[in-house]
Amino acid sequence: MHQNDDIDITFFMLVTSKDICIADYTIRSYNILQKLNLRFKLLIYANCLETDEKKRYFPRWSRWSFVEIFDNYEYVKGMRFRRGEIITSPEGVQGVRPWACENYDEIWSRELRKIETRYHATVDADFEILRGDFVIMMLKELDSNPNLVAMSSDYGPTSHNYFDSYSQTHCGINERWHTWFCIYKKEAQKCNVSHFYYHEYRPDGVCHKYDSASYFQKHLRENFGYDLRAVDKSYQDDFIHYGAISHQKSLHRGNIWLYRFLAINAKVCCIGRKGETGLRGRINGYSREIARRLFRLLFAKAEAEKRRYDF
């Protein structure tokens, strides 16, 4: 299912019942790349979706020529997933299963290795493309630099005093080229380390954590000598990552359109791009401020839900 000689890159998107409402919008956004004549496939991994969700969304998504859907029903049939249960990585580190479906880390570790296109990317269901310039730039950079093995839309530096809202503890968190939109060369598959969360206790007694794919990326750099980069900040208006939609119980099909509308307008404004002057600049400034205030007023509860598990 993962090979096609006519495409250069496979975007691999995991969709669960928790984020399917926003995925209906983000999947459409890949049409922007099709209009730029990019040779790609969006491979949707349907992770334990309900039957009625498949009936509603699969026909709609399949209308896009660049979409391929893999339903994991047959693969997981007979398995029992429980929120909060302990799962152990191939490296022997324990974590928790946040939802009653396959864990992202275990899917990435297994399925990404099957992709045979020159490039493959992990893309979140709550990451929406607004303009395609940043994707074209990323692929050009990867093409032109033999030692550059991956590029992400965002980078998170190492923090030695990080408050983890999920565990309610302070810890060290190691650098990561974020997984919500991260393009890898096929050569990255030479690394046998999994994409799982990892942690270790340093001599200072502090737990240092590697979020999903961070430990894998560490080995790409230290064991293989590869470089990883993030896009320049000037491209931030080309996309929006809503962030942790799967944790937000308050969002649903009835209000996700308003959440999305306000989030986009709060970030990138309604006319043109940020930084413009004159009348257009003033209109954009007012529209962003109004959108931010409405967003905080209407979705404060949903935003607070991002910072904790619902079990």
* Total domains in the fold of the chain: 2
What is the overall mean pLDDT for the chain?
91
Q: What is the pLDDT of residue 63?
A: 97
> Does position 269 have pLDDT exceeding 80, yes or no?
no
- Establish if 173 belongs to a structural domain: no
Pair (143, 290) in one structural domain: no
pLDDT band at 296 (very low <50, low <70, confident <90, very high): very high
- Establish if 212 belongs to a structural domain: no
Q: What is the pLDDT of residue 310?
A: 55
pTM: 0.91
- Range scoring the smallest mean pLDDT among 10-14, 46-50, 207-211, 266-270: 266-270
- Return d(Cα 302, Cα 245) in angstroms, integer: 9
Mean pLDDT computed over 281-300: 89
- Establish if 234 belongs to a structural domain: no
pLDDT band at 1 (very low <50, low <70, confident <90, very high): very low
> Does position 116 have pLDDT exceeding 80, yes or no?
yes
- Return d(Cα 10, Cα 185) in angstroms, integer: 11
Pair (27, 149) in one structural domain: yes
Q: What is the pLDDT of residue 166?
A: 67
Domain containing 70 equals 9-154+178-186
pLDDT band at 4 (very low <50, low <70, confident <90, very high): low
- Establish if 301 belongs to a structural domain: yes
Last residue of a domain, one of 167, 186, 205: 186
Query: How do residues 63-78 score in pLDDT, each as one tens digit?
Result: 999 999 999 999 999 8
Pair (17, 149) in one structural domain: yes
- Establish if 37 belongs to a structural domain: yes
Q: What is the pLDDT of residue 172?
A: 85
- Establish if 166 belongs to a structural domain: no
> Does position 303 have pLDDT exceeding 70, yes or no?
yes
Q: What is the pLDDT of residue 66?
A: 97
Query: How do residues 127-165 score in pLDDT, each as one tens digit?
Result: 999 999 999 999 999 999 999 999 999 999 998 887 776
Mean pLDDT computed over 265-281: 68
Pair (139, 258) in one structural domain: no
> Does position 273 have pLDDT exceeding 60, yes or no?
no
Pair (49, 150) in one structural domain: yes
Q: What is the pLDDT of residue 2?
A: 46
- Establish if 168 belongs to a structural domain: no
Q: What is the pLDDT of residue 3?
A: 47
Pair (21, 149) in one structural domain: yes
Pair (33, 182) in one structural domain: yes
Query: How do residues 152-205 score in pLDDT, each as one tens digit?
Result: 999 999 988 877 766 677 778 999 999 999 999 999 999 999 999 999 988 878
Please name the residue ranges forming H helices in the chain.
20-28, 31-35, 51-62, 73-76, 104-111, 133-144, 214-222, 256-268, 278-305
CATH of the domain at 22: 3.90.550.10
Q: Is the dihedral of CA 280, 281, 286, 290 positive or negative?
A: positive
- Nearest to 40, CA basis, from 145, 148, 150, 123: 123
Angle in degrees, CA 52, 18, 237, rounded to 5: 120
| Cβ atoms of residues 239 and 130 within 8 Å | yes
Per cent of the chain over pLDDT 70 is 93
> Does position 219 have pLDDT exceeding 80, yes or no?
yes
| Cβ atoms of residues 161 and 281 within 8 Å | no
> Does position 211 have pLDDT exceeding 50, yes or no?
yes
Query: How do residues 29-88 score in pLDDT, each as one tens digit?
Result: 999 999 999 999 999 999 999 999 999 999 999 999 999 999 999 999 989 999 989 999
Pair (147, 256) in one structural domain: no
Per cent of the chain over pLDDT 90 is 75
- Establish if 139 belongs to a structural domain: yes
> Does position 267 have pLDDT exceeding 60, yes or no?
yes
